[in-house]
Chain A
């Protein structure tokens, strides 16, 4: 049986994921995305939301078995860890490439 909290995280994950996808589609097909408040912050929200959505969706499995504070630790670790991998590759190779 799926608990209420698991269902809530699953729905949240889907919402974030589809928000990312929607921004992507909008950005790809029209210029309207520029005027959207999210996009005007200068942050690349579409890919960020897309990846976060996937991670939140999968983390729903943790909600069922972990206490809230541990769940948050895992969720943050997964998201930050994912972005840090990109960061390290960019920093190290960017430093070495002439």
Chain B
């Protein structure tokens, strides 16, 4: 593959597998230590119970240990994290399927990093739910006593389907490269040969793979939309805000998920390009294209958000207004306004700048915008979940502040995700080898 930055060959792509420096080992060691700290925090929560978290029942209740405990939010940063990771997972298949279905060959270079992101993000979403359960040893009850009328069961079903679909999709798109790795890396031949499962690499076989992947992409896109829609339906089970039962809620969730997913893919693409000097592969043009998609979907998301705030402010039910007041002027106002201005406003300006001329596109600055956006979207999910549950229809209740144990467990999903991602890039090429062959 030839570009203004020189020629990228298969060896250029494979350096992510073959080149391992000291920095890599330091990075992995840091991740392992942080993961250990997370496991210890989870151990504390499992042995002591959810009382070590900041989550409490909605209404005030008599406390056998003292006079009265203030009520609180039954959902906190674990559910916030769950929605966040589901959102991130949208990137993979959305981008990969678009590349395949709309024949956007230019973006094939980021397709795999997006697919792997989905594969890593979905288990983290599932883990967040496990953390939120007081008795995770009863998790099988979700299936055993699941009611098919319940969004909870459909949530589990949608996530299972999406996860399995992603595994199948990723393997099929990876199989040819695995076979090639068996020849290129003799030391690991045994592993790759078995995993390639007798791949022959004939033209007809490649054609069969491409056709199957096309159909699979077509099937997975609606599943992707279903996953985040069903997540929003789960909110309808909770007595909190009337907007949680509104028609727009699912759309709002799906659009938010696509924003965070596309932002995450941009961040990853920029990091890989910087790390391995892949300017010839992940060109400015590719990054600009992703940033344009991000900008457009972000505008839609901000529009939906403003519409939600406005309709609540001018004609909202009293309970809804209370939640809105709580966010705009109450204890969460600093978080809310920082998120709105810094988290969304600044990235929006950075992403909108290239409209005024090509020279305004700055890949590094856009990377900063994509990171800020994802932090802001995590906080956005927090402001959807917590203030609403702290203000149930009847009266206002306590306050929710996550504990250090809870924060350690929540952050643990990020360390685990990073470890899994790193493990993948050390075993398989993160860019489809066909890209450098020009196929």
Contacts and interface: CB of A to CB of B under 8 A. Distances in A.
B137 A97 contact: yes
B161 interface: yes
Interface string A51-85: 10011001101101111001001100010001000
Contact of A44 (B144, B157, B161): B144
B147 A28 contact: yes
B355 interface: no
B143 A47 contact: yes
B135 A61 contact: no
A54 B143 CA distance: 14
A90 B144 CA distance: 13
Contacts of A86: 139-140, 143
A25 B148 CA distance: 8
Given A25-B148, A47-B146, A50-B157, 10 more contacts: A1-B211, A44-B144, A61-B215, A64-B208, A65-B208, A67-B197, A70-B198, A73-B197, A90-B140, A98-B47
Contacts of A67: 197-198
Contact of A89 (B139, B164, B171, B216): B139
A93 B148 contact: no
Contact of B137 (A2, A21, A50, A94): A94
| Chain B contact residues, majority secondary structure | helix
Given A58-B161, A86-B140, A89-B139, A97 B148 contact: no
Contact of B160 (A21, A25, A51, A93): A51
A89 B126 CA distance: 11
Contacts of A51: 143, 160
16 contacts: A2-B215, A28-B148, A28-B149, A44-B144, A50-B143, A58-B164, A58-B165, A61-B169, A61-B215, A65-B172, A65-B212, A67-B198, A73-B197, A90-B139, A93-B46, A93-B136
Nearest to B208: A65
A5 to B, nearest CB: 12
Nearest to B198: A67
A89 B161 contact: no
The 6 closest A-B pairs by CB, nearest first: A94-B137, A47-B143, A93-B136, A70-B197, A96-B46, A93-B137
B168 A64 contact: no
B215 A82 contact: no
A66 to B, nearest CB: 6
A62 B168 CA distance: 7
Contacts of A14: none
Interface residues of B, number: 37
Contacts of B205: 65
Interface centre among A74, A93, A94 (most CB of B within 10 A): A93
Interface string B158-197: 0011001101110110010000000000000000000001
A58 B197 contact: no
Interface residues of A, number: 33
B290 interface: no
Contacts of B352: none
Contacts of A98: 47
Interface string A20-64: 010011001000000000000000100100110011001101101
Given A54-B164, A61-B215, A62-B168, A97 B46 contact: yes
Contacts of B160: 51, 54, 82
A44 B167 CA distance: 26
Nearest to B147: A28
Interface centre among B164, B198, B205 (most CB of A within 10 A): B164
Contacts of A90: 136-140
B139 to A, nearest CB: 6
B209 interface: yes
Nearest to A86: B140
B305 interface: no
A51 B197 CA distance: 25
Interface centre among B140, B205, B216 (most CB of A within 10 A): B140
B166 to A, nearest CB: 10
A66 B196 CA distance: 10
Contact of A64 (B43, B165, B167, B212): B212
Contacts of A28: 147-149
A93 B131 CA distance: 11
Given A54-B160, A67-B198, A89 B136 contact: yes
Contacts of A93: 46, 130, 135-137, 139
Nearest to A54: B161
B158 to A, nearest CB: 10
Contacts of B147: 28
A54 B157 contact: yes
Contacts of B208: 64-65
